[in-house]
């Protein structure tokens, strides 16, 4: 029986939803599951990892692992993967995952599939589905002649299993003999938003050029507050300077797959769809009944945002109370 190592990411002492999805997928394959976490708080998530099937958790607790450094993380993860003897490594296709794991794959001479949206593990056979050409097509991919396989999954694609409250895990501390690093992260300046990052949000309320001006984003924020959602945007409004680039959804922005995506005043250009067409339910609000976004939408409202958004916000407020 093979062994699967899941590289887990966490926030405020809790595993990210995307890591729970990976642990659940690994567990449901019936293979042995181990986890790896890094940073001075890594050990704190071992209990939660065990509840989703990790029998062992490799932790690097050194404070140098609190901030992402590609050289250091590559060394640490390469060592842990070798030590664990895992034949399959699962990680999130997050900004960190997409930067780190191609480096790890090169060190280990491993095969790597990035940005996957479906995953099937059957014994040694691993197949995945990936969007190509900005989501216009999909490819089904598998590995050949790879003793070590690495799969990076997009968040919000896999179900989460029921946690086993009585499970325990064996914590294996690993220390890294850090080489003299060529780069050093001196400081991380956090954005001002307290909201969940777009890539992790379960509900997104997104605005486009049809919002007319930056000040009108307050209508989106009011609806987002009621729904517990994160605000996103099209590139047109980012280019106009109404919002910052970290809110941009699309080919040159973030790829998201929330349960609910509300697109307001967004026409539905292919480059925008590339970043959000994996959303489970899409609601479009647009004055133009022929806007392409309606072809992708589960529900559509033809109307002016200034009429529709305050009414929607009031209705949701009432319904959620």
Please give the residue ranges that form the binding site for ligand FAD (CB under 6 A).
208-210, 234-237, 248-253, 265-267, 269, 271-272, 275, 285-288, 291, 304-305
Nearer to ligand FAD, 52 or 305 (CB): 305
Min dist. Cβ of residue 290 to ligand FAD (A): 9
Counting every residue written for the chain, the total comes to 321
- How far is 289 from 255, CA to CA, in rounded Å? 26
Nearer to ligand FAD, 250 or 258 (CB): 250
Min dist. Cβ of residue 168 to ligand FAD (A): 44
Under DSSP, is residue 14 helix (H, G, I), strand (E, B) or coil? strand
Nearer to ligand FAD, 131 or 275 (CB): 275
Find out whether 310 and 219 touch, Cβ atoms under 8 Å. yes
Nearer to ligand FAD, 131 or 210 (CB): 210
Min dist. Cβ of residue 207 to ligand FAD (A): 8
Min dist. Cβ of residue 212 to ligand FAD (A): 6
Under DSSP, is residue 58 helix (H, G, I), strand (E, B) or coil? strand
Find out whether 224 and 218 touch, Cβ atoms under 8 Å. no
| Cα-Cα end-to-end distance for the chain | 50
Residue 107 is inside which H or E element, if any? helix 95-108
- Checking DSSP bridges between strand 170-173 and strand 149-153, what pairing results, if any? unpaired
Nearer to ligand FAD, 76 or 135 (CB): 135
Min dist. Cβ of residue 231 to ligand FAD (A): 14
């Amino acid at each position: 029986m093979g062994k699967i190592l899941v590289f887990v990411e966490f926030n405020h002492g809790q595993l990210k939803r995307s890591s729970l999805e990976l642990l659940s997928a690994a567990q449901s394959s019936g293979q042995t599951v181990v986890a790896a976490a890094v940073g001075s708080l890594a050990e704190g998530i071992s209990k939660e990892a065990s509840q989703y099937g990790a029998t062992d958790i490799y932790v690097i607790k050194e404070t140098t692992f609190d901030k992402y450094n590609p050289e250091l993380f590559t060394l640490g993860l390469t060592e842990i993967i070798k030590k664990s003897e895992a034949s399959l490594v699962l990680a999130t296709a997050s900004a960190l995952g997409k930067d780190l794991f191609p480096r790890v794959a090169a060190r280990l001479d491993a095969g790597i599939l990035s940005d996957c949206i479906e995953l099937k593990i059957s014994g040694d056979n691993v197949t995945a589905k990936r969007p190509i050409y900005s989501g216009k097509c999909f490819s089904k991919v598998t590995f050949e002649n790879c003793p070590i396989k690495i799969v990076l999954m997009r968040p919000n694609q896999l179900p989460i299993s029921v946690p086993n409250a009585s499970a325990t895990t064996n914590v294996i501390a690993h220390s890294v003999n850090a080489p003299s690093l060529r780069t050093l992260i001196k400081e991380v300046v956090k954005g001002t938003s307290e909201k969940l990052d777009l890539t992790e949000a379960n509900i997104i309320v997104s605005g486009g050029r049809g919002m007319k001006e930056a000040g009108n984003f307050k209508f989106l924020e009011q609806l987002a507050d009621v729904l517990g959602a994160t605000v996103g945007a099209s590139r047109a409004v980012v280019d106009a300077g109404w919002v910052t680039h970290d809110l941009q959804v699309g080919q040159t922005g973030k790829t998201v797959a929330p349960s609910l995506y509300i697109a307001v005043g967004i026409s539905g250009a292919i480059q925008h769809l590339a970043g959000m067409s994996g959303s489970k339910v899409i609601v479009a609000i647009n004055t133009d009944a022929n806007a392409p976004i309606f072809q992708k939408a589960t529900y559509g409202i033809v109307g002016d945002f200034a009429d529709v958004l305050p009414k929607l916000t009031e209705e949701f407020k009432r319904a959620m109370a």
